[in-house]
Amino acid sequence: MAPSRIEHRVHKRVLSDQQRRRDIALQRQADGRRNLQQHARQLAAGLSSGEREDADGEEEVIVEAEGGESHELEGVGGESSSSKEDLKDVGLRQGTRLKGSKAREWFSKQLMLPEWMIDIPPRLKTDWYVMSRPAGVRCVVVSSNGTTVSRQRNGRVLHFFPSALPNGARTRDVSSASSVFCILDCIFHEPDKTYYVLDVMCWRGYSLYDCTTEFRLFWMNSKLAETEACQPPSQYNRYRFSVLPVYECDLGGLQAAYSAPVPYTRDGVLFVNRHAHYVLGSTPLSLVWKDAACSPYPVDTDSKGNVCQYQQVVLALGDDGSVATSDDPPVVLGTMPRQFLEQNANHLKSGTCLRFNIGEQGLRIVDGRPVVADIHFQGVAGRIKTADTCNKILYQYAARRDPLTISHLIAAVESYDDHGDFSMMASNVGGS
């Protein structure tokens, strides 16, 4: 049976499974009570005044977990965790220093990450916003104690700079208390030296993590407009900030996000559920989609930007020799030969990320998940420390064989009725 045939047959189950995960994520945030005000203070303190280099020139950040409280966070995959657990994850106790790679690991967990769009959510037209995503460096930006710091997704510092964000620069005319700080989710676009703002997590010390997307976007647009951060660069505002246009996901909004002229290189389209809170880690309430018309890299490319002949996947090596995704629980796609593992025991430890190609036989998909994969070992995945998710693998697999297209998305919003149904899509996605 051809791979496209398999995808077409299981599409309804895929859609049902993805929608179930979105419903669970919404219910979890409704049931859970998170206190992220202290977490925001930690982040602001660690990203600014507590940041320095030690005597050996290694980056050192002091992050305190005060009061012994358990501050509920949203972990990767929507699983709840706590501030204390996050510190434990990087081998630390409360009140200790984060240093070097452990500091970067903690900071790498501070962004909400979209999943790849492998189905079309019901109520796409009414429950989702859509925006054009700039190409560039995704980062968390914090202004605090008279300076501004941006950190990349891997936790490394991108820029230290003065900004017109609240308490983002030291000026003679402005003096703000340490409780005044700002945390933004941005993409830095190198060609025009601009930080494009995707979201706001904290403004002047007020936490917005538990506010809906609808409220956060309103706050972001109104508050940023009151500052000079969106003005051309100046002595106290080295980089310009720009708020991305956000559209209702109707026909006009979808077409604008997909193809309207923008002052930056577009890299796909981002969909965000209007009821979603800002969670830390990947979430099914934020989705990214792209094709060749709206992104220079619609599928995996090599280091030179060329499309790879075969789809590449990164999987983590298990104790038993299995190779699996980073999902919880992991999805096992194969097992390494025992003889090979014994011969390379010195550098192939449990947890090592390995790179594979998906061969001509592709994937066998059951209930929306791959259960058998024609994978071919290519080598250790270098500096990559996290395996691919099942969601990413399925998206790239479909993009090469039977992609979800802009015509499918347009048909979904055009055929929407009061019940959120789009029966035409349920039969078409996965087909040609």
* Sequence spans of domains, the chain: 3-30+299-401, 35-291
pTM reported for the whole predicted model: 0.81
pLDDT of residue 77: 34
Q: Which of 260, 319, 327, 251 is nearest to 294 (CA)?
A: 260
Burial grade of 132 (CB within 10 A; 0-12, 13-18, 19 or more): buried
Per-residue pLDDT reduced to its tens digit, 325-353: 998 889 999 999 999 998 888 888 899 99
d(CA 306, CA 301): 5
pLDDT of residue 265: 96
d(CA 201, CA 156): 19
Average pLDDT, the chain: 80
| pLDDT (average), residues 224-250 | 92
Would you state the structure tokens that stand for residue 398, as one six-digit string?
């479909």
Q: How many CA atoms lie within 13 A of 419 on its CB side?
A: 3
pLDDT of residue 368: 78
d(CA 392, CA 389): 5
pLDDT of residue 380: 92
d(CA 162, CA 236): 5
pLDDT at 131 over 70: yes
Q: At what angle do helices 3-31 and 390-401 cross, to 10 degrees?
A: 140
Per-residue pLDDT reduced to its tens digit, 147-176: 999 999 988 899 999 999 999 998 744 556
Give the CATH number of domain 3-30+299-401. 2.40.50.140
Per-residue pLDDT reduced to its tens digit, 341-399: 988 888 888 999 999 999 999 999 887 788 889 999 999 998 777 899 999 999 999 99
Query: How confident is residue 19, by pLDDT bands cut at 50, 70 and 90?
Result: confident
Percent of the chain with pLDDT over 90: 52
Query: How confident is residue 141, by pLDDT bands cut at 50, 70 and 90?
Result: very high
Query: How confident is residue 39, by pLDDT bands cut at 50, 70 and 90?
Result: confident
Helix (H) or strand (E) holding 159: strand 157-161
Per-residue pLDDT reduced to its tens digit, 257-282: 999 999 999 999 999 999 999 999 99
Residues 6+ apart with CB under 8 A from 263: 192, 242
pLDDT of residue 196: 97
Give the CATH number of domain 35-291. 3.30.470.30
pLDDT of residue 165: 94
128-137, 296-305, 337-346: least confidently modelled range: 296-305
pLDDT of residue 33: 60
DSSP 377-407: EEEE-TT--SPPPHHHHHHHHHHHHS---HH
d(CA 300, CA 327): 20
Would you state the structure tokens that stand for residue 186, as one six-digit string?
């941005």
| pLDDT (average), residues 41-49 | 66
Q: Is residue 325 within 8 Å of 331, Cβ to Cβ?
A: yes
pLDDT at 83 over 50: no
pLDDT of residue 58: 54
| Dihedral (CA of 158, 160, 162, 167) sign | positive
pLDDT of residue 161: 94
Q: How many residues does the chain have?
A: 432
Query: How confident is residue 60, by pLDDT bands cut at 50, 70 and 90?
Result: low
| pLDDT (average), residues 41-56 | 57
pLDDT of residue 178: 66
Query: How confident is residue 417, by pLDDT bands cut at 50, 70 and 90?
Result: low
Query: How confident is residue 6, by pLDDT bands cut at 50, 70 and 90?
Result: very low
Query: Which three-class secondary structure state does DSSP give residue 124?
Result: helix
Per-residue pLDDT reduced to its tens digit, 287-298: 999 999 999 888
The distance of Cα 6 from the centroid of its chain, to the nearest Å, equals 28
